[in-house]
């Protein structure tokens, strides 16, 4: 018996181990088959092409509608305000922005990060290095830190550019302290002092400058007094709709410009991937649920992006260009995917790596933008702290947006 056991152990065990390793290796590469090989019973290229055309139209309309609602609403509010500049303090707009922030946050965490992890841990890829290190989270972290740098540098550059343009405009107008004083004299602001006897023309200018200086000092005193108080009554009052009266710490327009552009970059990169994935599929069973899911997906993302674009107060042509670029990205990806579906394999190692890296980067960008530039900027502001009704409503809208977008992960 010992001899038999030694013979089995020396001859058959190595063979059995080698055979099991070969079976495991064959199973690990099973998912590298061309797209649709696992669903031959549902493969129908003609029906799939028709569904792709429906998807292009539905996603185009839903994305365009989502991004247009905040832009048109902003313009309507601006016209309704008697020609005043649009303001972001409206209660409805604040709630919509909170909902959009939840959508963006869920997009980064639930959709993009999960897709990136699925792609970079696919059995088609070699275990070293892709399954030995958490690349999705690492790339997302680097993307978030890079977004921080871009956010800071971009805002600083825009503010410098805006400041230099203001200085040039002031120099071109040729306004000076003497001209301001002369204007005050002509308007009769110094009429009470203008009849004083024995004064020359220089005295009139000194009186004018004295009044100008008093007004500037009073304005500066009110400004510093408002900032020096931490209570909700430090210079600004808010009604039940979130409208501010007085001074509040609103982000600069330069920051809104940077936020909208970086946000669109993160959304568009993911939209190309999901459009391409749908376009290369030849399975109607796969495409049907994706049409509705991606339509809602694009509507919510467009709504979030449209809110940021409207806050940046771009020119109409620039805002329209950004909206169109977002709306056509996913349909363009579907069209390209349908054209290359005969020879493109989304399960190839190279395609999986590119998809995983891009999804990880998009996740990091959108998570940073949602937490820092959308949620923290509004929920930690004085406007929110001083209006309990607006605060509760914003939190409800934030959670609703996050839950609505997360639920779409069941289908897409």
Model pLDDT for residues 113-141, shown as the tens digit of each residue: 998 999 999 998 998 889 899 999 999 99
| Percent residues over pLDDT 70 in the chain | 67
Return mean pLDDT, the chain.
Answer: 76
Claim: this prediction has a pTM higher than 0.75: no
pLDDT in tens, 235-272: 444 544 444 554 455 566 777 888 888 888 888 888 88
Q: What is the pLDDT of residues 181-197, one digit of tens each?
A: 555 555 554 444 444 44
Q: Would the pLDDT of 93 be above 60?
A: yes
* Number of structural domains the chain divides into: 1
| pLDDT of 213 strictly over 50 | no
- Placement of tokens 């070293």 in the chain: 128
Convert 76-98 to b/e letters by CB count within 10 Å (16 or more is b).
Answer: ebbeeeeeeebebbbbebbbbbb
Does the pLDDT at position 162 exceed 70? Answer: yes
Rounded Cα–Cα distance for residues 223 and 192 (Å): 29
User: Residue 258: which domain range?
Assistant: 48-77+90-158+252-410
User: Could you tell me if residue 95 is inside a domain?
Assistant: yes
Looking at the domain assignment, is residue 131 inside a domain? Answer: yes
Report percent pLDDT > 90 for the chain. 25
Q: Within a domain: residue 404?
A: yes
- The answer to whether residue 172 is domain-embedded is no
Nearest alpha carbon to residue 143 among 35, 269, 18, 330: 269
Burial pattern 317-347, b for ≥16 Cβ within 10 A else e, equals eebeebbeebbbbbbbbbbbbbeebeebbbb
pLDDT digits (tens, 9 = 90+) for 40-90: 557 888 898 999 999 999 999 999 999 998 888 777 766 654 444 444 446
Q: Tokens 């009044």, residue?
A: 211
Residue 307 maps to a domain: yes
Average pLDDT over residues 148-177: 78
Look at residue 223 and tell me if it is in a domain: no
Q: Is residue 57, in this structure, part of any structural domain at all?
A: yes
Is residue 325 included in any domain, yes or no?
Answer: yes
């Amino acid at each position: 018996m010992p001899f038999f056991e030694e013979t089995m152990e020396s001859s058959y065990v190595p063979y059995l181990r080698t055979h099991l390793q070969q079976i495991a290796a064959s199973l690990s590469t099973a998912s590298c088959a061309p797209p649709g090989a696992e669903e031959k019973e549902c493969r129908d290229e003609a029906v799939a092409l028709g569904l792709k055309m429906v998807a292009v139209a539905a996603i185009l309309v839903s994305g365009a509608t989502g991004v247009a609602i905040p832009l048109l609403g902003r313009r309507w509010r601006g016209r309704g305000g008697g020609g005043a500049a649009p303001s972001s303090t409206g209660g409805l707009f604040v709630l919509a922005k909170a909902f959009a922030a939840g959508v963006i946050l869920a997009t980064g965490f639930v959709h993009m990060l999960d897709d990136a992890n699925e792609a970079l841990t696919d059995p088609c890829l070699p275990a070293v290095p892709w399954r030995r290190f958490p690349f999705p989270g690492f790339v997302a972290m680097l993307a978030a830190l890079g977004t921080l740098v871009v956010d800071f540098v971009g805002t600083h550059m825009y503010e410098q550019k805006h400041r230099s343009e203001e200085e040039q405009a002031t120099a071109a107008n040729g306004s000076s302290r003497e001209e301001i004083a002369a204007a005050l004299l002509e308007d009769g602001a110094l009429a009470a002092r203008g009849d004083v006897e024995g004064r020359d023309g220089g005295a009139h200018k000194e009186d004018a400058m004295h009044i100008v200086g008093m007004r500037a000092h009073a304005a500066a005193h009110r400004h510093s007094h408002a900032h020096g108080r931490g209570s909700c009554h430090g210079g600004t009052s808010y009604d039940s709709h979130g409208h501010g009266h007085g001074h509040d710490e609103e982000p600069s327009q330069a920051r809104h410009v940077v936020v909208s552009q970086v946000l669109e970059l993160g959304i568009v990169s993911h939209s190309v991937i999901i459009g391409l994935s749908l376009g290369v599929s030849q399975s109607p069973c796969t495409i049907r649920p994706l049409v509705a899911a991606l339509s809602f997906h694009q509507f919510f993302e467009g709504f979030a992006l449209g809110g940021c674009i409207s806050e940046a107060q771009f020119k109409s042509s620039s805002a329209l260009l950004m909206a169109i670029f977002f709306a056509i990205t996913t349909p363009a990806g579907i069209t390209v995917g349908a054209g290359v579906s005969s020879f493109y394999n989304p399960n190839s190692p190279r395609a999986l790596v590119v998809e995983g890296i891009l999804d990880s980067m998009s996740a990091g960008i959108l998570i940073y933008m949602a937490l820092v530039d959308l949620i923290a900027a509004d929920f930690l502001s004085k406007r929110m702290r001083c209006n309990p009704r607006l605060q509760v409503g914003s939190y409800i809208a934030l959670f609703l947006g996050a839950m609505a977008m997360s639920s779409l992960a069941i289908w897409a």
